[in-house]
Amino acid sequence: MTEFNVTIEGSGKHCHVRRETLERLFGAGFELEVKKWLSQPGQFATPQKVTVVGPRGETSISIIGPCRKADQVELSMTDARALGFDCPIRESGDLRGSPGCKLIGPAGEAVIDEGVIVAKRHVHLTPEDAEKYGLKDKQLVRVSVGGDRALVFDEVVARVSPEYATYMHIDYDEMNAAAMTGAEPVGHVTA
């Protein structure tokens, strides 16, 4: 049996946009600014925000850079329900059949036909760590956390790529369910 500890990071509601969508929302030639570099190499939080319009409401969310090949809005289940979306729980990039929405920026609007999801919990792994722990890309693992609201996250997808750093990502609904606050929480992975 494989066992190791991993740092867990909470991921708030955010979106990824294509270059074309970014320019519709912010104007021709606009470039995303780096507010904070994230744990995944090359990924960064930006100060740029857009409004996501759902069937029952709207909310402001941050854009994560750099631009991607597809527009994608990631919400927690709580956010999705409040906005009136019936979102599938999916891995990033698996957008088939997911709802679309309107995005509003300071210079314009864009309608995406699909791309609103609740992200499936996952552990990013470098190929070296995956080999060290005997894990394969897309393998499902369990991650347990201790504390006052100890719990086990089941059906966690191992995602292996040389473009990743080894961290687990869950949304704030899941962080709150385990009462994870303050210092970086650590989960115990078993496979």
Mean of pLDDT values over 156-178: 96
154: Cα separation from own chain's centroid: 17
Task: Give the residue numbers spanning the domain of 88.
Answer: 11-119
The residue from 58, 91, 119 where one domain ends is 119
Look at the chain and report how many structural domains it folds into.
Answer: 2
More confident position, 70 or 1: 70
C-alpha 156/C-alpha 67 separation (Å) is 26
pLDDT at 71 (0 to 100): 98
Same-domain check for residues 105 and 136? no
Same-domain check for residues 56 and 78? yes
Would you tell me how many other CB atoms lie within 10 Å of the CB of residue 120?
Answer: 18
By mean pLDDT, which of 26-35, 67-76, 181-190 is the weakest? 181-190
